[in-house]
Amino acid sequence: MNNEDRTSQQQSPQDKERQDILRSRGEIPRHIAVIMDGNGRWAKSRGSVRIAGHKAGVDSVKDITEASAQIGVQHLTLYAFSMENWGRPKGEISALMKLLVQSLRSETRKLHENDIRLSSIGDIDRLPPTCRRELVEAIELTSDNKRMDLCLALSYSGRWDICQAVNRISQKVKDGLLCPEDINNETISEHLATADIPDPDLIVRTSGEFRLSNFLLWQSAYSELYVTNTYWPDFRREELYEAIESYQNRERRFGKVHSHLELEEPSVAMR
Ligand code: FPP
């Protein structure tokens, strides 16, 4: 494991201090999931084409990934391409796929040097072959890294995820490996694309829309939501810190009353 923080080479002392303060004032969410929205509107507001917004959005991806790893987030999931995004104009889809390939080519080494593991959720068989190949190679290269998991939701939708979980469970029932009466919340969680990662503690959505847009539907049952009007290409670490601060001010009861929560094992309360 490589613990050397190569991202902090250019980190300002003020930023480091801000992160230290945030860590000491409360819990850092273990898993942050982000609905990166507003690239098109960001571009339009500058009289630019939509892809210019996506390109600028990559800089936000880099800054948020770096800041999340530095501050101690363990899982960062980014909604980079939804199942519904396949319905966008062909030119925009291919520009997005090209951008993904370029980003994987230019950033994978840095992720690896910083002990960040790349993973993905979604129907990646639908991705163009070059894109899929770059993604799989980056996932393999970084598979033993421990500092943070950066999960890209690509060709992902929450309903697709639930459907494929139900399909797999049904197959096990059919094969006699599982009794229908034994199916519970955990069975479903274990068959989702996110089986290996905890449910998101905090979901951030940029550009002011109050929707989940088919993202992590099952997994978001008790996630805290943070919506900002900022368009994704303008969303940088300072706003991430504000979102974390807002999270730290919330009281998470998971449908229980506070006094009862304190009596329980944390692992049970967190389910
Ligand atoms: C939503 O904005 C954004 C997307 C559909 C794509 C997000 C992609 C990136 C930030 C770049 C590539 C990502 C990685 C991980 C390298 P929108 O187009 O829906 O904006 P609008 O709602 O204003 O039209």
With 0-12 CB in 10 A as exposed, 13-18 as middle and 19+ as buried, what is 117?
Answer: buried
Q: Are strands 31-35 and 224-227 parallel, antiparallel or unpaired?
A: unpaired
Catalytic residue among 63, 85, 214, 234: 85
Q: What would the pLDDT profile of 89-101 be if each residue is shown by its tens digit?
A: 999 999 999 999 9
Distance CA 237, CA 221 (A): 26
Q: What would the pLDDT profile of 115-145 be if each residue is shown by its tens digit?
A: 999 999 999 999 999 999 999 999 999 999 9
**Of 80, 76, 116, nearest in space to 202 by CA:** 76
Can you give the pLDDT at residue 267? 47
Q: Where are the alpha helices (DSSP H) in the chain?
A: 13-25, 39-45, 50-71, 90-113, 129-141, 158-174, 185-191, 237-248, 258-263, 266-269
Can you give the pLDDT at residue 255? 80
One-letter identity of residue 265: E
> How close is the Cα of 163 to the center of ligand 1, in Å?
25
Give the C-alpha distances (Å, rounded to integers) separating 11 from 61, 166, 191, 202.
Answer: 16, 45, 39, 25
Per-chain mean pLDDT for the chain: 93
Beta-carbon contacts of 191 under 8 Å, excluding residues fewer than 6 positions away, are: 164, 165, 166, 168, 169
DSSP secondary structure string for all residues of 2-32: ----GGGGG--HHHHHHHHHHHHHSPPPSEE
In the 3-class helix/strand/coil scheme, how is 102-143 assigned residue by residue? HHHHHHHHHHHHCCEEEEEECCHHHCCHHHHHHHHHHHHHCC
Distance CA 49, CA 39 (A): 10
* Residue from 48, 54, 227 whose mutation best tests the ligand 1 pocket (most atoms within 8 A of CB): 54
* Residue from 34, 35, 36 whose mutation best tests the ligand 1 pocket (most atoms within 8 A of CB): 36
**Is 114 labeled as catalytic in the residue annotation?**
no
CB of 54 closer than 6 angstroms to any ligand 1 atom: yes
Confidence of residue 220 (pLDDT cuts 50, 70, 90): very high
**Is 37 labeled as catalytic in the residue annotation?**
yes
Atom of ligand 1 nearest to the CA of 41: 23
CB of 74 closer than 6 angstroms to any ligand 1 atom: no
One-letter identity of residue 147: R
Distance CA 207, CA 227 (A): 8
Can you give the pLDDT at residue 256? 79
* pTM listed for this prediction: 0.91
**CATH architecture group of domain 27-157+202-247:** 3-Layer(aba) Sandwich (3.40)
Confidence of residue 4 (pLDDT cuts 50, 70, 90): very low
Residue the block writes with tokens 């998470």: 252
